[in-house]
Amino acid sequence: MPPLETHQTNDSGLLDGFDEIDQQLLSRVHRSVEQRVASDSSGSPRFAVIAGIAAVLLMGMLFGASLWVLVAIAAGLLVAANYFLAKTWATATVATRSGADDEVKIGSHIQVQLNFHNRSRIPVLWLLAEDLLPRWTTQSAHPTLAVEGERIAVMMLWPNENRTMEYQIHCHRRGYFQVGPTVLETGDMMGLYRRYRVGTDPQYVTVLPEVVPLTTYEIGSRRPIGEIRMRESVMDDPTRLRGIRQWQIGDPMRSVHWAATARTGVLHSKIYEPSSIIGATLVLDLHETTTPTKHEPFRSDLAVTAAASIAAALHEAGEPFALATNGRDASDRIRQEGWDGDHRVRGAAAAAAAMKEKNDRLRPVIIPTGRGPVQFQEIHRTLARLERTGGLTLAELLIECESQIAADTTLLVIVQIATPETIAALVSLARRGRAVAVIINTHDINDYSASAGPLIASRIPTFHLADQESVANICRQTLAR
């Protein structure tokens, strides 16, 4: 039996606010699965058999050969019986899936259980069932999803008999993955009729990216009087008293420390600590030209981990944070295209059931500024589902979403390769008063220097994201003024 072909996909999990869309898609799927698609009669072997039977019957009637007539009748009854069996077996088996959409962490195990029930009064002599998984996730030296157990089975079902198929999925990296649906194949014993259909609805699994606790976060915006102490600032924070010193010419009278002046008889001034707010808008570059394939999926996953870790640190500090990216959301394929069942050929059934791997969506993914656990969960899930795209470049993204970025948050950009267009866009934002900081995601220090040089020359602070260990300390430097 030839193996079932599946599409390669970059699938990724669980969507909030999708209930109505999911119900519409599932109702369409059920309608398409319940409707039996008639096969094209031209060139089909069974029509050649029927034509042969008719010819034998006609010859027997013309020449008075009763044996030929009996052979034709017997063959016709056999073909009719096989047609009846194929039709009955195709609709007799009901497949159900245990479990629903889920969110898990990297390293988690997912238990998949499928149940097959023969609801007819005649036995189903053979049934081939395969639960679909994206092929690219399992066929590599270090698979994204490692399968333990069998997800393909051939079985015989007696009347009212139930069979169970179980296997485990080990999630080794973040993403949005479609598990299933189950494609069923059966047919008559002579091979004249084959039936293929989608037996179960798929489930969608979101594997959330890892969150690394940051040692500290010292990237402030241009807005003063905030939560973190800065080394340099255009304005001192009057709520943070660091000490006192003797009054000097030029000190404002409002900074005079009157208690110390009265005690010593000499004018003293207060010394304040400069501070700033630490809100940030995370800008993640996932364009195909600036995220080379030779570094994938490690570099894109590292960028996502850094973004999730920074978002978690800002959430714990109670600060505002947002997300803007030119990557595509893997769940868009379900929203835009969905999947349908097909009875005609096995390959078509598999192709219709699999998630689409192409998406020409150019609209950026933007989550507005917010605070709290709901904001963090939304950004965390979105980061899990992100993947590379050939849509907007980073420079085009910054132009597209500039009006939607809060002016009092730092524009924290994570990029692998800073192209001249990207550098020009970032410098332009900095000159217009935006607080901009750049995290360069590359292992080679020479590549980092080449990208960071023009940015540092424009007084834009840069940080080096070399590997997983550097995530915890990525935001330790203070924003230079």
Looking at the structure, tell me whether residues 68 and 131 fall in a common domain: yes
Looking at the structure, tell me whether residues 94 and 121 fall in a common domain: yes
Looking at the structure, tell me whether residues 261 and 383 fall in a common domain: no
Looking at the structure, tell me whether residues 265 and 291 fall in a common domain: no
Q: Is there a domain that residue 128 lies in?
A: yes
Looking at the structure, tell me whether residues 102 and 165 fall in a common domain: yes
- Structural domain containing residue 310: 280-327+364-470
Q: How many domains does the chain have?
A: 3
Q: Yes or no: say if 125 and 92 are a contact pair by the CB < 8 Å rule.
A: no
Residue 168's pLDDT is: 93
Name the domain boundary from 189, 208, 227: 208
Q: What is the CATH number of the domain that holds 444?
A: 3.40.50.410
Looking at the structure, tell me whether residues 431 and 308 fall in a common domain: yes
Q: Is there a domain that residue 349 lies in?
A: no
Per-residue tens of pLDDT for the chain, all 481 residues? 344 333 333 333 333 433 443 444 444 444 443 443 333 333 455 566 667 667 766 766 666 667 766 766 777 777 778 888 888 888 889 999 987 788 999 999 999 999 999 998 899 999 999 998 888 888 777 888 999 999 999 999 999 999 999 999 999 999 999 888 899 999 888 777 788 888 888 889 999 999 998 887 666 544 444 444 444 444 555 666 667 888 888 778 877 888 888 888 888 888 766 555 578 899 999 999 999 988 888 999 999 999 999 999 999 888 889 999 999 888 876 654 445 443 344 555 555 545 555 545 567 899 999 989 999 999 999 999 998 988 889 999 998 888 888 877 889 999 999 999 999 999 999 888 888 899 999 999 999 999 999 999 998 889 999 988 888 888 765 333 3
Q: What is the DSSP string of 18-49?
A: -HHHHHHHHHHHHHHHHSPPPPP-TT-HHHHH
Continuous segment of H or E residues that includes residue 63: helix 45-63
Looking at the structure, tell me whether residues 130 and 28 fall in a common domain: yes
Looking at the structure, tell me whether residues 27 and 148 fall in a common domain: yes
Q: Is there a domain that residue 345 lies in?
A: no
Q: Is there a domain that residue 440 lies in?
A: yes
Looking at the structure, tell me whether residues 85 and 174 fall in a common domain: yes
Sign of the CA dihedral with 328 first, then 334, 338, and 339 last: positive
Q: What is the CATH number of the domain that holds 65?
A: 2.60.40.10
174-177-182 Cα angle (round to 5): 155
Looking at the structure, tell me whether residues 176 and 48 fall in a common domain: yes
In a 10 Å sphere around its CB, with 0-12 CB exposed, 13-18 middle and 19+ buried, how is residue 443 labelled? Answer: middle
Sign of the CA dihedral with 332 first, then 333, 337, and 338 last: negative
Looking at the structure, tell me whether residues 253 and 194 fall in a common domain: no
Looking at the structure, tell me whether residues 157 and 191 fall in a common domain: yes
